Structure 1
């Protein structure tokens, strides 16, 4: 082993470091088991033990070992490190280390740095009214929720992008290493630019077992692991053993080697000496026993180095005298009197091992990204507006219009904004951003490649998991971003969305956590324009999943055209501590509202479009034709056009909904319309035919408390799809103009009998469409060439 680093640890330093590690282990065990007698000043009694033992010991001593050694690296090299704890069950270690370094007591004064605070530290862990058993928003220094198995490394890379002064040691458990997202995360180095980004130091922590089985990588030979990670492009460095004295020396020397490598790569890149290939960044493979330093056996069964160490190794300490004595012996093996003084404070020579101030990993502002967040520089959306003379006269690709706005964001925010997507930026018509930046690419670039560059700021990899994780890490460390994706495949990250929503919910209640920029999704290539790819690409259900979360966290927007999309995009990028879902089409489509009209409409969340209806002044309409989504809006207006042709005396009101959450009552969601305003739009007793982008049941779920909800008749995606024409997709799901017009006639009392001939004509049109599309493979001219009649256009958007 090369020990030539000028930072090499002395034997005295390592002896102190071993005591610090023992202190962290002692505190970790205490959190799992004790509610009193924290320093063992008297023999353990049943009442000192928690009645319910919850927590995970197996991974914790290894995490404490790494944390202690990283403290030495910080002190000696004056570095900013962000510790990402992939084995989320190692929460006791994360809490213990932040208490030892002083951060925990500063944030939570009740948990003071003495015996009284230690008792509170122990009692609160996995206890009603206390803290979770895993790394969580409540844990100082954490950006990674303990339940997020598989995402630690992708979060680490997201944190490192555009943070040149940050190094992110990321501990990956060998159980976590078996997940698909983690396996893809190793490719993050191909997107990491040493000249402008920070660095990630993966530490693969192999203790051999997960909950009840061996792990795949834990059983792999060193040579197999060396080949695997060399193939990924890393330089694997091994630290293996169970003798603490030898392991401390080996770990210290290995960390010195790794950080020397990182320093050299960054210096070369920042001096302009870039090589022809991605650097072989170091990564560490740490093999240590599961439950290291804990009981070797319990009741004659193997524990240390086996899966029985995973959770609570000694489980009957209240009722079983032998177990309680085993626990006492275990705790005393760490020699607490050698670690803490009479007042229960960490001894001064051990306190000196922790970094100071914001260099402490529990206090780093990189783990509290709102402290680093700078406002995004944006331009007036009117600069990018589509000029509208009359509703429906202009055809535009709405996402292409938004791309011009995003290009300006890139231009004005060179180190504070990135766009993430799974190889779909161009497909989603956002190519205008490539006028300003390129795709990030650190591998070989050939002379015929396009829009690839090491300093590109568009992050594309064909993995929704990686895009989501990169963006989360980027946001959690203080920056801004947007994730664009095909609507049907955003479901791949459902569980990641869940965890981020939970993180936001909890962190917003913690006064010490500053707000971070919102996680923004742009879902295009949506269900109604996936006619070319077919049924596998047709699914609008992500909205339903999102709306399960706490009302004050999520927002869903369905802008009907480009100007409303500009307002929504601009609004969402300026928010914080939210998850915003924007669904907008990429195909040429009619444009309805001027920018001033779009602003007024979006600020209200929904509204009446007087120019589209034919209501009599001062009278209620016969029917309300409502819509949410771009294709449903077009089909609704086409249906209204048919009704005005066939039944000119029928009084029709047209309502468009941009902000889906406005349908809920105000007590359900902060964007919900007040009851009187909702009634003024939808009436209290008239039929409402609602054309919706997604599954119809969702509208009923959102509006069920509204006065007129019994008269809501919703049409949307009914799980019918195939490879077909755009209009045929709406017909298959009965969301088309003909079905919508029929629905209106059927729902207005007494109209069905009077308009039987109109119903027949509409049915004939459906039959004609069916025959035509199967004969010619394109939509009928009446549909293909339809435009909103100019004599019906004009006028301001109402309220």
Structure 2
């Protein structure tokens, strides 16, 4: 039974959403006159208008209703935002909840602080246009589309009290990494892991084309996700509908977890997910220069981008911003207490979730002495040995030494045995939750080995796992690891930028083992030769 949503909650949700919308929109456009206390003029507009408005209202909608869940259920929520260029929305919400001011003292909840926030977006020495490690609550930038969902599951593994909400844009949903990541529930153990709530943000358009999902009927989308193993629920641009859907999803997750934790796991559980249909650029400019803006691809980035030099565009932007009634949203230039009624406090604030700063949570990994595993021989040419079987024994003993901590995993694309690392299976198993036709003694719901024939998904999982304070190793054939080249580049950028912020303590290294290397490919030949990684 879904809890009743009170009128107070609905009124608060609308107020909070409108406040976040104004802040996000103002941040994209304004360098001055932040509360429109005088007529908007060209010199109030930033010289370079960046960011993606089209996705911001949907992100604000999700964030608002996740706040309700966090407050009412004392639920720890980590948010991954696939459409990372909607950063203005995340920034707005972190300002409202106060998590931003912990790290940026100038972002005070008053008139000067509000001006500092709005001006800092896409401004020299300020914030960039996309999600980045310069803000708390972030473990995924979303600059390269495709692996928000997989990263969310990586964060949820071995985090039993954590709910990871993941916004998947309907453009991102077209990517290969996202397509395989939907299968991650088959590796999620509700007894020992947290949960992932995917929210497909179906607003219909990419930069200049309709999305594939927008051309599918509800029946077709439902069939797709039921086939993946989910129980989808459709939500429109309505606060009551969204609040009820969030409550339903939270209850479904709780039901699945409670059953598993009482020793009566549900076979093939149908995890909840939301498919959220809202107009692109919702609440923004409706029409400009005789062209539709809201609900079209023209609202994807910056509507009325020529507003500094075009009077018609400037008037449209001003009318739009004034439609939020900033004088009511910010009496005396500050956020009123009523806007904070259902905003969570302390570590329950989404932007302050401790798991997003994994270096603070990381516990020491106990490592055996590698010298005890060396191959001993009296003279060359007398002993037959190989490196990976020995490494397999070493990894097995890492698992032995850290058995009670549950913070080390091996991520492998169906190659553990082929790479002769299968000594670990003397101690643990390969994790998989769904029933198999023939029982494999090396597969169980509790294994420490994650095998899936998708390097993209494994890379996503291990990133989410490590960035939330754990350890992992990724063995793979050298010839096929370049599949994740660009993902690794993006991850390295995230780590490099993280080092610039003292409050981001270092996380563990991301370890690769390249096997079946180029110069040993006499049996497979040219197809398996690629030393590029």
Q: Would you call these one fold, judging by a TM-score over 0.5?
A: yes
* 8 A Cα contact 2:53 2:299, kept in partner: yes
Matches of 1:210 and 1:104 in 2, distance apart? Answer: 30
Partner of 2:318: 328
Q: Secondary structure at the match of 2:531?
A: coil
Q: Secondary structure at the match of 2:52?
A: coil
Deviations 1:646-699 (A, max 9, x none): xxxxxxxxxxxxxxxxxxxxxxxxxxxxxxxxxxxxxxxxxxxxxxxxxxxxxx
Deviations 1:66-91 (A, max 9, x none): 00000000000001100110111111
Matches of 1:368 and 1:215 in 2, distance apart? Answer: 34
Partner of 1:223: 219
Query: How far did residue 448 of structure 1 move?
Result: 4.5
* 8 A Cα contact 1:240 1:287, kept in partner: yes
1:78-93 matches, within 5 Å, as 78-93=74-89
Pick the aligned partner of 1:452 from 412, 431, 443.
Answer: 443
Partner of 2:288: 298
Extract unaligned runs of 5+ from structure 1.
242-246, 543-799
Matches of 2:374 and 2:362 in 1, distance apart? Answer: 28
Matches of 1:448 and 1:27 in 2, distance apart? Answer: 55
Matches of 1:510 and 1:336 in 2, distance apart? Answer: 33
* 8 A Cα contact 2:355 2:468, kept in partner: yes
User: Is it true that 1:497 corresponds to 2:488 in the alignment?
Assistant: yes
User: Is it true that 1:539 corresponds to 2:530 in the alignment?
Assistant: yes
Q: Secondary structure at the match of 1:379?
A: coil
Deviation larger for 316-325 or 456-465: 316-325
Matches of 1:347 and 1:72 in 2, distance apart? Answer: 18
Structure with the bigger RCO (C-alpha within 8 Å, sep 6+) is 2
Q: Secondary structure at the match of 2:164?
A: strand
1:11-26 matches, within 5 Å, as 11-26=7-22
Deviations 1:701-724 (A, max 9, x none): xxxxxxxxxxxxxxxxxxxxxxxx
Query: How far did residue 413 of structure 1 move?
Result: 2.2
Partner of 2:340: 351
Runs of 4+ with >6 A deviation: none
Deviation larger for 333-342 or 430-439: 333-342
Partner of 2:68: 72
Partner of 2:102: 106
Partner of 1:128: 124
Deviations 1:615-655 (A, max 9, x none): xxxxxxxxxxxxxxxxxxxxxxxxxxxxxxxxxxxxxxxxx
Deviation larger for 386-395 or 253-262: 386-395
User: Is it true that 1:528 corresponds to 2:524 in the alignment?
Assistant: no
Q: Secondary structure at the match of 1:432?
A: helix
Matches of 2:297 and 2:145 in 1, distance apart? Answer: 18
Partner of 2:422: 431
User: Is it true that 1:369 corresponds to 2:358 in the alignment?
Assistant: yes
User: Is it true that 1:150 corresponds to 2:146 in the alignment?
Assistant: yes
Query: How far did residue 446 of structure 1 move?
Result: 4.3
Partner of 1:50: 46
Pick the aligned partner of 2:2 from 1, 5, 9.
Answer: 5
* 8 A Cα contact 1:49 1:318, kept in partner: yes
Partner of 1:417: 408
Partner of 2:368: 379
Partner of 2:177: 181
Query: How far did residue 148 of structure 1 move?
Result: 2.5
Partner of 2:165: 169
Deviations 1:391-417 (A, max 9, x none): 454331101101111001112223100
1:576-725 matches, within 5 Å, as none
Matches of 2:15 and 2:320 in 1, distance apart? Answer: 15
Give the greater-gyration-radius structure (CA): 1
Distance 1:457 1:330, change over 3 A: same
* 8 A Cα contact 2:142 2:148, kept in partner: no
Deviations 1:254-284 (A, max 9, x none): 1111100000000000000023x32000010
Query: How far did residue 110 of structure 1 move?
Result: 2.0
Matches of 2:208 and 2:515 in 1, distance apart? Answer: 42
* 8 A Cα contact 1:103 1:362, kept in partner: yes
Q: Secondary structure at the match of 2:144?
A: coil
Deviations 1:34-91 (A, max 9, x none): 0111111111121110011111100110000000000000000001100110111111
Partner of 1:267: 258
Matches of 1:345 and 1:474 in 2, distance apart? Answer: 38
* 8 A Cα contact 1:32 1:53, kept in partner: yes
Q: Secondary structure at the match of 2:331?
A: coil
Q: Secondary structure at the match of 1:21?
A: helix
Matches of 2:379 and 2:343 in 1, distance apart? Answer: 67
Matches of 2:231 and 2:401 in 1, distance apart? Answer: 37
Query: How far did residue 206 of structure 1 move?
Result: 0.2
Matches of 2:476 and 2:340 in 1, distance apart? Answer: 48
Matches of 2:438 and 2:279 in 1, distance apart? Answer: 50
* 8 A Cα contact 1:238 1:284, kept in partner: yes
Deviations 1:74-111 (A, max 9, x none): 00000110011011111100111001100111111122
Matches of 2:377 and 2:473 in 1, distance apart? Answer: 27
Matches of 1:99 and 1:179 in 2, distance apart? Answer: 32
* 8 A Cα contact 2:12 2:341, kept in partner: no
Matches of 2:477 and 2:173 in 1, distance apart? Answer: 28
TM-score (norm 1): 0.66
Query: How far did residue 387 of structure 1 move?
Result: 1.6
User: Is it true that 1:513 corresponds to 2:504 in the alignment?
Assistant: yes
* 8 A Cα contact 1:190 1:443, kept in partner: yes
Q: Secondary structure at the match of 1:236?
A: strand
Query: How far did residue 240 of structure 1 move?
Result: 2.0
Partner of 2:308: 318
Partner of 2:298: 308
Matches of 1:436 and 1:126 in 2, distance apart? Answer: 51
Deviations 1:451-510 (A, max 9, x none): 100001100000100111100000011100000000010000011001000000100101
Deviation larger for 406-415 or 382-391: 382-391
* 8 A Cα contact 2:57 2:89, kept in partner: yes
Pick the aligned partner of 1:338 from 317, 323, 328.
Answer: 328
Pick the aligned partner of 2:90 from 74, 94, 105.
Answer: 94
Deviation larger for 404-413 or 501-510: 404-413
Matches of 1:196 and 1:90 in 2, distance apart? Answer: 33
Q: Secondary structure at the match of 2:295?
A: coil
Query: How far did residue 321 of structure 1 move?
Result: 2.1
Extract unaligned runs of 5+ from structure 2.
none
TM-score (norm 2): 0.98
